[in-house]
A and B are shown apart, each in its own frame.
Chain A
Amino acid sequence: MRLALVVIFLVVWGLGLFALHSRWQEKQRLRLAEHTSVVATTYRASIAMFHLTTETFIRQVVQRPDVLETFARGLRGTEAQRSQARGELYRRLAAAYADLDQHGVHQLHFHSSESHSFLRFHAPDKFGDALSEIRPSVGMVNRDRQAIFGFEIGRFGLGFRYLYPLLYQEQHLGSVETGVTFRAISEAMARIDPGREYLLTLRRDLVERKVFSDQRKLYIDSPVHADFLIEDPSLKIPGAPRPAIPVLRQLNEQLRRHAEVQSGMLAGASFSLALSHANDDWAVSFVPAENISGENVAYLVAYSHFPVVAELRREYYASFVLLSLVLAGLAGLSWRLLGAHRTLRRDARQLQAITETIADGLYVMEHGGQISLVNPAFENILGYRADEIVGRVGHDLFHVHDGGRELPQADCPIIQATQKGASYHGEELFRHKNGQLLTVELDCQPLNLPDGTAGSVTAFRDISERKAAQLRLLESDRIKGEFIATASHELRTPLTVIQGYLELLLTNEELSADQVHEIETVVYDKALALERIVEDLLDVSRIEAGRPIHLDYNEVDMVREISTIVAQFRKESPRHRFALRLPEQPVVLSIDKFKIVQVLENLLNNAVKFSPPDTEIRLSGEQVGDRFELRISDQGIGILPEDQAHIFDKFHRVDNSDTAVGGFGLGLYLAKRIVEAHAGELQVESELGQGATFTLSLPLPDAS
């Protein structure tokens, strides 16, 4: 990942540098284009200025009737007459030409209609030569009789020409032209746009073909291109171009080797380029000069200081440094962020592992109470899958308040606490997806969410079983307490009787034998009751210790035993009616007679105890399959459904206030264990107020 970051940084850095460099070059290109445009515009402005000067001169001076008449005379008559007229023309216009010359227009030339030179004011000794071949413009102006303008190389070199046809008395006499030397143009340009040096370089082939032979030596090779010439600046004569300053000579050497210059000049392109010499930047602009036919005949080369190059270079390097620093900073931050991200991801994975592996349920709740995260333990404890719960309001879904009350979320103490930034600890009721209520112990902490709102994270654990165990423990403690109280009472009562009767025997010698016997019988019965209590407790102790109940099996006729017990209960409880319906034939079972009798007595005792007087207690026994079933029904108060589930529990008593004999709460517990020790079953059916029916089922001998 970090390698990728380095690669990305390098790529972005490279692209940034490329963009900066392109921007730098583009800016420089635009500034150079401005230079080209300025030079071209200045050149055109200068040409236009001379054009205006010339046009004024032609209209106001040349096209006067007397001048035209003189010119007309010079074109006809004898040679002497023509010479006189030529001299007169020279004389008439000499002063005006001098003034024109002062304005930079150095050439004034009259041509005949046959395009022969008639009079050159700038070279009066040269005349009569044919011009149409060398100077196409002269032929054109005489042919078309339309004024034309443009650069052209003539017998005296190159200049910008302004040609006008001359008509006199509706006759075409010929033409006149003015010419502006490059020096005049460059001086005019310098006045318009100071600060530039100029060089005019002419196409070699045109110069060699057109100028007078004695003029060709005035040209030397162009310092910027082999196919071009310049006027020899070393001649040091008035009007000649100034020698190039040393720095321009150095620049020209660079230009001579510059491929763009060499190809651009041949192609006739306008362009500028930047050069440096001796820590100084220059812009060199190339503007082609076209003749009247649109043919490139020369190049105007303009040199000017170009400090913007240094500015752009500084700007580029500053941007380069800034970009590098910013990117390095970003890369550093990204590097650290990446490290932090890795740590965060590791922490997140660890947190996820923790949340997924901890047994406690965990959920994150947003400000509005919507669940945003749950862990697997949450799903296990409350039965909801994450996709079922996320996004829903947890409080409404699973939070139940005391007694199963529904409480608005705003009133929920957990919500209230976390919205105040406080934590909340406590036990709450959560509802399982299946509706079961769970007691949970939770710890809720406020959580500042990224959007600035306060949410919460809650960890909880299901303590329902622990609570139940606690309840059971409490119940056990309560039962033990009651047992101790009951046992004390149960044990103390027969002991008190025994103690009282024994004191009576010891202190009263006058007791009759019957009385003594009666006392001895009572004491004996109470001793037996104590023994039974102790036996019951021992049985319970054995059962609790995991030891089986000891049974002494005998062949016992259940019909006779039940009848015997019922007969006994009829004597002891005369106010209850006992309806007995048993098989006529003996039903012999292999049982521990003493234990089964104990069960039957317990059941009948309960029936008597919980049945009001004058009610009937019905016993019906019969063989059902391979079992013998005995149903004992009473018409008592019945048993609550919740008590029916615990009625066979140890120490469970339906009516705790009753402390009569057999009120230990062990009777039915032992009865069920004794019956189950015989591979039998003991069940109860009851409706409140409708009495209860206990069904004792014991296997027949073959079955067992």
Chain B
Amino acid sequence: MFKVLPVALLTLLLVVSPLLAEPLIFAPLPMETPYTVVSQWKPLLDYLEESLGIELEIDYSLSNDEVVDKFKAGKLDLAYLGPLPYLTLREGFPSAEPVVVFHEKSGEPTYTCAIVATDAARESLLELKNRRIALTQPLSTCGYFAVQGLMQNRWQTSLQANRFRYLGPHDEVALAVVRGEFDFGGLKTAIARKYSHLGLTILAESPPFPGLALVANSQRLAPARIEAIRRALLAADADIRRQWGDNIRHGVSAASDQNYAGMRQLPLPASIPQQGNF
């Protein structure tokens, strides 16, 4: 009897709480244009709403920093975060709890970052100095963090020896390079490949990072709710996922903070500049 009662109360809470609660606030990363981002996520959110009987509302932020700040401020229930934003968030906000990680097109629960250029700019590699480099955001895994690492490992140089600027979304980085406004750009490899038809070429690719994850705010969401969301996403079959955006339709895996143990071993820059140097 005493064992059954908590389960019953929990079940009742799960059933009733959606009727009483306000919509859950979800923040995607502004990796691409707002329409692209929203259109990527809307089918998945609809799926969760239908599966769990909850209501989800998108809160679009213009930067990863803004997402992290809102998360810390307790304004978000769920967020789509890359490894670096997650680690940054987790450091000051332990209630950030990974729910699932999204697979890449390859099916792996990891992703890589790339340095891209147009064919015309390939000659610049002969002298990687004082070049214009487009970055996404300071708090983007494929931003300063990944590009700095790649440049050091591949060409034994650094961003500081060149001119870099943060552009925000990954696709904006790709297009800015295509437009010739920058010699190189750093962005998520999967997104870079979407612009290969514009002559964008991948020059270097990082080791895999933990995939972008859906992170829950355990201060706002009960463990059971988080678990329900995780199970619902894991239960989505290929037919359901086909409706989702092309960045997130390739499968999910359960995630936890342990996924980022390797990432924490990497030599992180002492500090990531919040502004470009030109």
**Residues of A at under 8 Å CB distance from B?**
80, 82-88, 90-91, 94, 119, 123-125, 127-128, 156, 212-215, 217-218, 232, 234-240
Contacts and interface: CB of A to CB of B under 8 A. Distances in A.
Contacts of A91: 178-180
B40 interface: yes
B118 interface: yes
B175 A214 contact: no
Contacts of A123: 33, 36
Contacts of B60: 235-238
A85 B245 CA distance: 28
A88 B57 CA distance: 39
B54 interface: no
Contacts of A236: 57-60
Contacts of A215: 39
B199 A235 contact: no
B34 A237 contact: yes
A213 B44 CA distance: 12
The contact size tier of chain B is 35 or more
A84 B42 contact: no
B34 A238 contact: yes
A91 B177 CA distance: 9
A318 B79 CA distance: 62
B48 to A, nearest CB: 12
Contact of B37 (A88, A90, A234, A237): A237
Contacts of A90: 175, 178-179, 198
Contact of B35 (A87, A119, A237): A237
Contacts, number: 91
B207 to A, nearest CB: 25
Contact of B246 (A214, A237, A238): A214
A94 B179 CA distance: 7
B197 interface: yes
Interface in B174-200: 175, 178-180, 194-200
A124 B170 CA distance: 13
A300 B43 CA distance: 27
11 contacts: A80-B199, A90-B175, A213-B242, A214-B42, A214-B43, A217-B46, A218-B35, A232-B42, A234-B58, A237-B35, A238-B34
A238 B172 CA distance: 15
Given A217-B43, A236-B59, A125 B171 contact: yes
Most buried by B among A86, A217, A234: A217
B244 interface: yes
Contacts of A88: 199
B38 interface: yes
Nearest to A87: B199
Question: Which of B40, B179, B195 has the most chain A CB within a 10 Å cutoff?
Answer: B179
Given A214-B245, A235-B60, A124 B39 contact: no
Nearest to B243: A213
B39 A218 contact: yes
A232 B34 CA distance: 13
Contacts of B198: 83, 86-87, 90, 119, 124
Nearest to A236: B60
Contacts of B245: 214
B123 interface: no
B119 interface: yes
Contacts of B39: 212, 214-215, 217-218
Given A217-B39, A234-B57, A238-B34, A128 B180 contact: no
Interface of B: 32-40, 42-43, 46, 57-60, 118-120, 171, 175, 178-180, 194-200, 242-246
Given A214-B244, A217-B43, A236-B60, A83 B35 contact: no
Given A123-B33, A125-B194, 16 more contacts: A80-B119, A83-B197, A86-B197, A86-B198, A90-B179, A124-B175, A124-B198, A125-B32, A125-B171, A214-B243, A217-B43, A218-B35, A232-B42, A237-B34, A237-B58, A238-B34
Nearest to A231: B35
Contacts of B43: 214, 217
Contacts of B40: 214
B58 A235 contact: yes
Q: Residue among A125, A235, A240 with the most chain B CB within 10 A?
A: A125
A234 to B, nearest CB: 7
A212 to B, nearest CB: 8
Nearest to B41: A217
A372 B200 CA distance: 118
B54 to A, nearest CB: 15
Q: Most chain-B CB neighbours within 10 Å: which of A87, A91, A234, A236?
A: A87
A91 B199 CA distance: 11
Given A83-B198, A86-B197, A235 B171 contact: no
Interface centre among B35, B46, B180, by most chain A C-beta atoms within 10 angstroms, is: B35
Contacts of B200: 87
A21 to B, nearest CB: 47
Contacts of B120: 84
A513 B34 CA distance: 190
Contacts of B34: 237-240
Contacts of A125: 32, 36, 171, 194-195
A80 B200 CA distance: 10
A217 B245 CA distance: 11
Contacts of A237: 34-35, 37-38, 58, 60
Contacts of A85: 199
Given A125-B194, A214-B40, A237-B35, A87 B58 contact: no
A239 B36 CA distance: 12
A80 B199 CA distance: 7
For the complex of A and B, 4 pairs with smallest distance between CB atoms: A87-B199, A217-B42, A237-B34, A87-B198
Contacts of A235: 38, 42, 58, 60
Given A214-B243, A235-B58, A128 B35 contact: no
A214 B32 CA distance: 14
B226 to A, nearest CB: 24
Q: Which of B40, B59, B195 has the most CB of A within 10 A?
A: B195
B172 to A, nearest CB: 10
B42 A218 contact: yes
Contacts of B57: 234, 236
Contacts of A212: 39
Contacts of A87: 118, 178, 198-200
A232 B60 CA distance: 14
Nearest to B119: A84
Residue among A83, A128, A218 with most chain B CB within 10 A: A83
A213 B179 CA distance: 29
A239 B37 CA distance: 13
A124 B177 CA distance: 13
A125 B192 CA distance: 9
B202 to A, nearest CB: 13
A236 B195 CA distance: 27
Contacts of B118: 84, 87
B167 to A, nearest CB: 14
Nearest to A156: B35
Nearest to B60: A237
A146 B133 CA distance: 43
Contacts of A94: 175, 179
B105 to A, nearest CB: 14
Contacts of B195: 124-125
A547 B35 CA distance: 148
Contacts of B246: 214
A127 B195 CA distance: 10
